Structure 1
Amino acid sequence: MVDKLIKYTHKSNIAIVVLHEIYGVNNFIKDICEKYYQDGYDVFCPELLGSGKVFSYLKAQDAYNFFISNIGFNIYEKVEKLINDLKLKYKHVFVIGYSVGATIAWRCSENSLCDGIICCYGSRIRDYMDVIPKCPVLLVFAKYDSFDVEFVASQLLAKKQNIQIEIADANHGFVDTYSKNYSNIHTQTFNLQQIEFLSKYSS
C-alpha cells in the first residue's frame, strides 16, 4: 500500500480515492477531499510524493522532474493495492485523479476492483492508450492542453468500452481554484458530470 495516506472518514459505504497532481497534497487537493467528505463519502488521499512534500505552482518544472525521477506512473500498482484493500471494507470504491493523478487512475482501471474512475485532464493518458478499462471511466479533458485532445479522444472512443469522454472548452487546471487557468463555469459543468457518474455507478 502507499506509505502515507490522508483520511476523511465517517463510516460511509462509499470510498473515494483522490489522486493529486505533481504538486502533492496542496490546498486544492485538500479542498477537493473536504468537498467529497462533506458530500457524505469516506475519502482517502495517498501522499504519493511522500509525507508533507508539496511544490508551489511556480515550481512546476521541479515538481514534474521530482515526480518522474522519484515516483513515476508505475506508482499505480501501489494505488491498486489500496483500492483492492478498500474494496474489502466498502460497498463501492471510486478513484478521482487530477493531471498526473488522472493518468495513474487511468492505469488503475485495468486491474483494480474499483467501481468507477474519474480522470480530470490526464494529459499523459495518451502514453497509455493500450489500457483496457474493466470499470466505467469518465475522462474529462481540457480542450487547450499540450497535445491533440480531439485526436486522442477519438482514438480512445474507437477502441474502448466503458468510457465516457467530455472535453471542456478550457485550459489544463480549470477545476483548480488556485490555478490561473481556473474556470468557474467549466468547473460547475464538471461537478455535474461527476455527480451524475458517481450516482449512476453507486446505486
Structure 2
Amino acid sequence: MASHALDSNGHDTAVVVAHEIYGVNEHISGVAKMLRPYRCDVFTPSFLPSGVVYAREHESKAYREFTRTMCVTGMGSALAQYAEGLRERYRRVLGIGFSVGATSTWLASGTGAMDGAVCFYGSRIRDHLDIQPAAPCLVIFAEQEPSFSVPAIAERLAGRKGVVTEVHPCRHGFCDPGSPHYSAVHSRQAWTSATRFLGLSR
C-alpha cells in the first residue's frame, strides 16, 4: 500500500484521509495541506494497486478498476487495519473520507479503529446502515444525489448514538475544487463543521 504523511511535528493526533475512486489526487493532497495548520499529523494512504491515480475524465475506468481490485468493503477493512497501525504512535486516530472513502471510513469507524470520523457524501453508506460507529461520526451529505433519497437516509441515521448528520443543498463532490459540482460556500461550511466535530485546533 502506497502511503505518505506530511512532516511529523510530534503531535498526538493522526488524521487519515481516505480517497475517492480516483486515488490520492490533487483534491486529497489539497485536503492534507488544509489540515497542515492544525495540531495533527496527516496520512493519505492509497488503497489502489501501486498507488495509481486516475484523471476525472477516466471516471468509468476508475470505478471499474476500484470495484474489481478493492470494492468499498475491502477498502473499509484495509482502512481499519491502517488506522489500527497508527495506535502505537498516536493518542487519537481520526478519519476523514470522501465518496467511497467516506463509506469506507464509515465501515472502519464501526470496528473501533478510530476515535472520530467525518464522512463526506458517502452515498453507499445507505447500504451499510447496520453499522454502529464505535466513536463519534459526522456524516455530511449532498442533498442532490440522483440514486437515493438523502433526507430519508439522514432521517434513518437521526438519533443513532454518536452519529450527527448534515445535509447541504449541493451535488456529490461539492467539497472538491476540481469537481464541476464544487461549492466554495458549502465546502467552507462543511469543513468548519468537520474540524470542530473532530476537535481539531490550530
TM range (shorter): over 0.9
> Structure 1 stretches (4+) deviating beyond 2 angstroms?
37-40
One-letter amino acid of the counterpart of residue 103, structure 2: T
What letter is aligned with 2:2?
K
Identity %: 33
Superposition pairs of residues 20-31 of structure 1, within 5 angstroms:
20-31=19-30
Q: Deviations over 1:96-115 (max 9, x none)?
A: 00000000000011113311
**For each residue in 1:53-91, what CA deviation from the matched residue of structure 2 results, as whole angstroms up to 9, or x when unmatched?**
111111111111111111112222121111112122111
Q: Is the 8 A contact 2:4 2:45 kept in 1?
A: yes
- The aligned counterpart of 2:95 is 95
Matched with 1:6 is: 4
* 1:171 alignment partner in structure 2: 171
Match of 1:142 in 2: 142
Q: Secondary structure at the match of 1:139?
A: strand
Partners of 1:131 and 1:52 lie apart in 2 by 28
Aligned to 2:85: 85
Could you tell me how far apart the structure 2 residues matched to 1:4 and 1:11 are?
Answer: 22
Q: What SS class does the counterpart of residue 143 from structure 2 fall into?
A: strand
One-letter code aligned to 2:196: E
TM-score of the aligned structures, taking structure 1 as reference length: 0.93
Matching residue's letter, 1:57: R
Contact 1:83 1:112 in 2 (8 A): no
Aligned partner of 2:37 in structure 1 is 38
Matching residue's letter, 2:189:
T
Task: Number of aligned residue pairs: give it.
Answer: 198
Kindly provide the amino acid, as one letter, of the partner of residue 129 in structure 2.
Answer: M
**Distance (whole Å) between structure 2 residues aligned to residue 113 and residue 89 of structure 1:** 14
Unaligned runs of 5+ in 1: none
Q: Distance in 2 between matches of 1:143 and 1:131?
A: 22
Which TM-score applies when normalising by structure 2?
Answer: 0.93
Task: Give distance in 2, aligned partners of 1:58 and 1:45.
Answer: 22
Per-residue deviation, 1:38: 3.1
Q: Which moved more, 1:32-41 or 1:22-31?
A: 32-41
User: What corresponds to 1:157 in structure 2?
Assistant: 158
**What is the CA-CA distance between 1:19 and the residue it aligns to?**
0.2
Helix, strand or coil at the partner of 1:133: coil
CA contact (8 A) 2:47 2:78 kept: no
3-state DSSP of counterpart to 2:44: strand
**Within the alignment, does 1:133 sit opposite 2:138 as a pair?**
no
Tell me, which stretches of 5 or more residues in structure 2 are unaligned?
A: none
Alignment partner, residue 62 of structure 1: 61
Q: Which amino acid aligns with 1:177?
A: P
Partner residue in 1 for 2:185: 185
Q: C-alpha displacement at 1:182, in angstroms?
A: 0.5
SS of the residue corresponding to residue 16 of structure 1 reads strand
